[in-house]
Amino acid sequence: MRKPVIAGNWKMYKNVGDSIATAVALKPLVANANHCEVVIAPVFTALKPVADRLEGSNVHVSAQNCATEQSEGALTGEVAAFMLRDAGCSHVIVGHSERRQYFLETDAIVSKKVQAGLAAGLTVIMCVGETLDQRDQGKAQSIVSEQLVGGLSGLTASDLDRIIVAYEPVWAIGTGRTATPEQAQEMHAFIRRVFAERHSQGAAESLRVLYGGSVKPDNIAGLMKQTDIDGALVGGASLKAESFAEIVNYSR
Ligand code: PEP
Protein backbone atom coordinates (compact mmCIF):
# COMPACT_ATOMS: atom_id res chain seq x y z
CA MET A 1 0.00 0.00 0.00
CA ARG A 2 1.40 3.37 -1.02
CA LYS A 3 0.56 6.14 1.43
CA PRO A 4 -0.55 9.19 -0.58
CA VAL A 5 1.30 12.47 -0.26
CA ILE A 6 -0.35 15.87 -0.58
CA ALA A 7 2.33 18.53 -0.81
CA GLY A 8 1.84 22.29 -1.04
CA ASN A 9 4.43 24.31 -2.91
CA TRP A 10 4.20 27.89 -1.73
CA LYS A 11 6.76 29.07 -4.32
CA MET A 12 8.00 32.64 -3.69
CA TYR A 13 4.88 33.69 -1.78
CA LYS A 14 4.39 34.72 1.84
CA ASN A 15 6.78 36.43 4.22
CA VAL A 16 7.67 34.80 7.54
CA GLY A 17 4.58 36.06 9.37
CA ASP A 18 2.17 34.96 6.64
CA SER A 19 3.87 31.58 6.37
CA ILE A 20 3.53 30.97 10.10
CA ALA A 21 -0.11 32.12 10.07
CA THR A 22 -1.00 29.76 7.20
CA ALA A 23 0.84 26.81 8.76
CA VAL A 24 -0.80 27.38 12.14
CA ALA A 25 -4.23 27.64 10.49
CA LEU A 26 -3.61 24.45 8.50
CA LYS A 27 -2.51 22.31 11.43
CA PRO A 28 -5.93 21.67 13.04
CA LEU A 29 -7.69 21.42 9.65
CA VAL A 30 -5.63 18.37 8.66
CA ALA A 31 -5.00 16.91 12.11
CA ASN A 32 -7.16 13.86 11.32
CA ALA A 33 -5.73 13.23 7.89
CA ASN A 34 -4.03 9.95 8.69
CA HIS A 35 -4.67 8.59 5.21
CA CYS A 36 -1.88 10.67 3.69
CA GLU A 37 1.33 12.54 4.37
CA VAL A 38 0.81 16.29 4.42
CA VAL A 39 3.76 18.44 3.35
CA ILE A 40 4.14 22.20 2.92
CA ALA A 41 7.03 23.96 1.24
CA PRO A 42 7.47 27.59 2.36
CA VAL A 43 10.28 29.93 1.23
CA PHE A 44 13.73 29.40 2.76
CA THR A 45 13.44 32.20 5.30
CA ALA A 46 10.24 30.75 6.76
CA LEU A 47 11.37 27.10 7.02
CA LYS A 48 12.71 27.15 10.56
CA PRO A 49 9.93 29.25 12.14
CA VAL A 50 7.25 27.18 10.37
CA ALA A 51 8.92 23.88 11.30
CA ASP A 52 9.10 25.03 14.93
CA ARG A 53 5.35 25.79 14.96
CA LEU A 54 4.54 22.41 13.36
CA GLU A 55 6.71 20.27 15.61
CA GLY A 56 4.79 17.22 16.84
CA SER A 57 2.04 17.67 14.22
CA ASN A 58 1.34 15.58 11.12
CA VAL A 59 2.39 18.40 8.76
CA HIS A 60 5.87 17.96 7.31
CA VAL A 61 8.04 20.79 6.08
CA SER A 62 9.82 20.77 2.74
CA ALA A 63 12.25 23.12 1.06
CA GLN A 64 11.66 24.02 -2.58
CA ASN A 65 15.28 23.63 -3.65
CA CYS A 66 18.76 22.85 -2.33
CA ALA A 67 22.39 23.28 -3.36
CA THR A 68 24.12 20.67 -5.51
CA GLU A 69 27.04 20.59 -3.09
CA GLN A 70 26.68 18.43 -0.02
CA SER A 71 28.98 20.27 2.38
CA GLU A 72 29.32 23.90 3.37
CA GLY A 73 31.57 26.12 1.30
CA ALA A 74 32.09 29.36 -0.56
CA LEU A 75 28.89 29.26 -2.61
CA THR A 76 27.20 32.60 -2.17
CA GLY A 77 23.43 32.41 -2.04
CA GLU A 78 23.17 28.63 -1.82
CA VAL A 79 21.63 26.55 0.97
CA ALA A 80 22.89 22.99 1.50
CA ALA A 81 20.49 20.11 2.06
CA PHE A 82 21.95 19.35 5.51
CA MET A 83 21.15 22.96 6.49
CA LEU A 84 17.54 22.38 5.46
CA ARG A 85 17.44 19.29 7.63
CA ASP A 86 18.92 21.36 10.45
CA ALA A 87 16.15 23.94 9.91
CA GLY A 88 13.48 21.29 10.46
CA CYS A 89 12.79 20.05 6.93
CA SER A 90 12.03 16.42 6.21
CA HIS A 91 11.56 16.85 2.45
CA VAL A 92 13.04 18.82 -0.42
CA ILE A 93 11.55 19.49 -3.87
CA VAL A 94 14.07 19.33 -6.71
CA GLY A 95 13.83 19.86 -10.45
CA HIS A 96 10.61 21.88 -10.39
CA SER A 97 9.85 23.06 -13.93
CA GLU A 98 10.28 26.69 -12.83
CA ARG A 99 13.85 25.84 -11.75
CA ARG A 100 14.45 24.00 -15.02
CA GLN A 101 12.97 26.84 -17.09
CA TYR A 102 14.16 30.02 -15.33
CA PHE A 103 17.33 28.79 -13.63
CA LEU A 104 18.43 26.44 -16.42
CA GLU A 105 18.64 23.37 -14.24
CA THR A 106 19.65 20.33 -16.25
CA ASP A 107 19.07 16.69 -15.37
CA ALA A 108 22.73 16.55 -14.24
CA ILE A 109 22.11 19.39 -11.78
CA VAL A 110 18.85 17.84 -10.62
CA SER A 111 20.65 14.53 -10.06
CA LYS A 112 23.25 16.22 -7.82
CA LYS A 113 20.45 17.82 -5.82
CA VAL A 114 18.69 14.47 -5.46
CA GLN A 115 21.95 13.00 -4.13
CA ALA A 116 22.46 15.95 -1.79
CA GLY A 117 18.93 15.65 -0.41
CA LEU A 118 19.28 11.93 0.19
CA ALA A 119 22.71 12.30 1.79
CA ALA A 120 21.20 14.82 4.23
CA GLY A 121 18.49 12.33 5.22
CA LEU A 122 15.69 14.17 3.41
CA THR A 123 12.90 12.67 1.32
CA VAL A 124 13.27 14.03 -2.19
CA ILE A 125 10.31 15.06 -4.34
CA MET A 126 11.73 15.13 -7.85
CA CYS A 127 9.59 16.86 -10.48
CA VAL A 128 9.39 15.83 -14.11
CA GLY A 129 7.11 16.97 -16.90
CA GLU A 130 6.92 17.97 -20.54
CA THR A 131 6.07 21.33 -22.11
CA LEU A 132 3.06 21.76 -24.38
CA ASP A 133 5.32 21.84 -27.47
CA GLN A 134 6.93 18.59 -26.44
CA ARG A 135 3.52 16.98 -25.87
CA ASP A 136 2.24 18.26 -29.23
CA GLN A 137 5.29 16.76 -30.93
CA GLY A 138 4.55 13.38 -29.34
CA LYS A 139 7.65 13.60 -27.14
CA ALA A 140 6.01 13.67 -23.70
CA GLN A 141 7.07 10.17 -22.67
CA SER A 142 10.60 10.41 -24.01
CA ILE A 143 11.15 13.75 -22.19
CA VAL A 144 9.76 12.41 -18.91
CA SER A 145 11.80 9.23 -19.24
CA GLU A 146 14.98 11.26 -19.90
CA GLN A 147 14.31 13.43 -16.83
CA LEU A 148 13.61 10.39 -14.67
CA VAL A 149 16.67 8.45 -15.75
CA GLY A 150 18.93 11.53 -15.64
CA GLY A 151 17.69 12.81 -12.32
CA LEU A 152 17.64 9.48 -10.56
CA SER A 153 20.95 8.10 -11.81
CA GLY A 154 23.29 6.49 -9.30
CA LEU A 155 20.68 5.68 -6.66
CA THR A 156 21.11 2.62 -4.49
CA ALA A 157 18.23 0.34 -3.47
CA SER A 158 18.26 1.81 0.04
CA ASP A 159 17.68 5.32 -1.35
CA LEU A 160 14.49 4.45 -3.20
CA ASP A 161 12.02 4.67 -0.35
CA ARG A 162 12.99 8.34 0.10
CA ILE A 163 12.25 9.22 -3.50
CA ILE A 164 8.90 10.65 -4.57
CA VAL A 165 8.31 11.59 -8.21
CA ALA A 166 5.97 14.46 -9.09
CA TYR A 167 4.65 14.45 -12.64
CA GLU A 168 3.87 18.05 -13.48
CA PRO A 169 3.07 18.74 -17.12
CA VAL A 170 4.43 22.26 -17.60
CA TRP A 171 1.34 23.27 -19.57
CA ALA A 172 -0.84 22.56 -16.54
CA ILE A 173 1.15 24.49 -13.92
CA GLY A 174 -0.52 27.69 -12.83
CA THR A 175 -2.62 27.74 -16.01
CA GLY A 176 -5.90 26.45 -14.62
CA ARG A 177 -5.62 23.68 -17.21
CA THR A 178 -5.38 20.29 -15.52
CA ALA A 179 -4.38 17.11 -17.28
CA THR A 180 -7.41 14.83 -17.35
CA PRO A 181 -7.24 12.03 -14.80
CA GLU A 182 -6.76 9.63 -17.76
CA GLN A 183 -3.88 11.67 -19.24
CA ALA A 184 -2.21 11.82 -15.84
CA GLN A 185 -2.80 8.10 -15.19
CA GLU A 186 -1.21 7.19 -18.53
CA MET A 187 1.97 9.09 -17.67
CA HIS A 188 2.06 7.85 -14.08
CA ALA A 189 1.84 4.24 -15.25
CA PHE A 190 4.63 4.99 -17.73
CA ILE A 191 6.79 6.49 -14.95
CA ARG A 192 6.27 3.36 -12.88
CA ARG A 193 7.30 1.18 -15.84
CA VAL A 194 10.48 3.20 -16.41
CA PHE A 195 11.26 2.97 -12.70
CA ALA A 196 10.70 -0.82 -12.75
CA GLU A 197 13.10 -1.19 -15.68
CA ARG A 198 15.78 0.91 -13.96
CA HIS A 199 15.35 -0.52 -10.48
CA SER A 200 12.96 -3.35 -9.67
CA GLN A 201 9.29 -4.19 -9.89
CA GLY A 202 9.07 -4.01 -6.10
CA ALA A 203 10.64 -0.54 -5.97
CA ALA A 204 8.31 0.64 -8.72
CA GLU A 205 5.27 -0.65 -6.88
CA SER A 206 6.33 1.24 -3.74
CA LEU A 207 7.17 4.49 -5.57
CA ARG A 208 4.80 7.37 -4.83
CA VAL A 209 4.04 9.33 -8.01
CA LEU A 210 2.29 12.64 -7.41
CA TYR A 211 0.41 14.67 -9.98
CA GLY A 212 0.90 18.44 -10.14
CA GLY A 213 -0.76 21.07 -12.31
CA SER A 214 -3.75 23.16 -11.26
CA VAL A 215 -4.93 20.70 -8.62
CA LYS A 216 -7.88 22.13 -6.68
CA PRO A 217 -10.48 20.89 -4.20
CA ASP A 218 -12.85 20.11 -7.09
CA ASN A 219 -10.51 17.92 -9.15
CA ILE A 220 -8.45 16.04 -6.55
CA ALA A 221 -10.96 13.23 -6.03
CA GLY A 222 -11.05 12.33 -9.74
CA LEU A 223 -7.27 12.29 -9.91
CA MET A 224 -6.95 10.16 -6.77
CA LYS A 225 -9.25 7.51 -8.26
CA GLN A 226 -6.55 6.62 -10.76
CA THR A 227 -4.50 3.55 -9.86
CA ASP A 228 -1.10 5.15 -10.29
CA ILE A 229 -1.78 8.60 -8.81
CA ASP A 230 -0.49 8.65 -5.26
CA GLY A 231 -1.19 12.24 -4.31
CA ALA A 232 -0.55 15.74 -5.54
CA LEU A 233 1.92 18.58 -5.60
CA VAL A 234 -0.22 21.69 -5.29
CA GLY A 235 0.84 25.25 -6.07
CA GLY A 236 -1.80 28.00 -6.12
CA ALA A 237 -4.47 26.13 -4.19
CA SER A 238 -2.04 25.39 -1.34
CA LEU A 239 -1.60 29.05 -0.44
CA LYS A 240 -4.81 29.22 1.57
CA ALA A 241 -5.02 26.83 4.53
CA GLU A 242 -8.72 26.12 3.88
CA SER A 243 -8.39 25.14 0.20
CA PHE A 244 -5.27 23.07 0.86
CA ALA A 245 -7.03 21.30 3.75
CA GLU A 246 -9.97 20.55 1.44
CA ILE A 247 -7.58 18.97 -1.06
CA VAL A 248 -6.02 16.91 1.74
CA ASN A 249 -9.41 15.82 2.99
CA TYR A 250 -10.84 15.06 -0.49
CA SER A 251 -7.81 12.90 -1.30
CA ARG A 252 -9.13 10.00 0.79
C1 PEP B 1 3.42 23.65 -8.76
O2 PEP B 1 3.92 24.73 -8.60
O3 PEP B 1 4.09 22.65 -8.49
C4 PEP B 1 2.04 23.58 -9.23
C5 PEP B 1 1.56 22.41 -9.55
O6 PEP B 1 1.32 24.75 -9.32
P7 PEP B 1 -0.27 24.91 -9.57
O8 PEP B 1 -0.96 23.95 -8.66
O9 PEP B 1 -0.55 26.34 -9.23
O10 PEP B 1 -0.52 24.58 -11.01
Q: What is the pLDDT of residues 29-64, one digit of tens each?
A: 999 999 999 999 999 999 999 999 999 999 999 999
Instruction: Using the predicted structure, report yes or no on whether residue 176 has a pLDDT greater than 90.
Output: no
Residue 213 phi/psi, 5-degree rounding, is 140, 95
The pTM of the whole model exceeds 0.85:
yes
Task: Output the residue whose Cα is nearest ligand 1's atom 8.
Answer: 235
Annotated catalytic, 188? no
Check whether 177 has a pLDDT greater than 90: no
* pLDDT exceeds 90 at position 178: no
Q: Kindly state if the Cβ of 97 falls inside 6 Å of ligand 1.
A: no
One-character DSSP codes across 16-32: HHHHHHHHHHHHHHTTT
Looking at residue 179, what is its pLDDT?
Answer: 87
CB atoms within 10 A of CB 72: 11
Q: What is the pLDDT of residue 125?
A: 98
129 lines ligand 1 (CB under 6 A): no
The closest residue, in CA terms, to atom 3 on ligand 1 is 235
Q: Indicate the pLDDT class of residue 175, thresholds 50, 70 and 90.
A: confident
The catalytic position among 60, 96, 188, 199 is 96
Q: Which pLDDT band holds residue 1 (cuts at 50, 70, 90)?
A: confident
Kindly give the pairing relationship between strand 123-128 and strand 163-167.
Answer: parallel
Orientation angle between helical segments 241-250 and 16-29, nearest 10 degrees: 40
- Of 62, 164, 214, the residue with max ligand 1 atoms within 8 A of its CB, to mutate for a pocket test, comes to 214
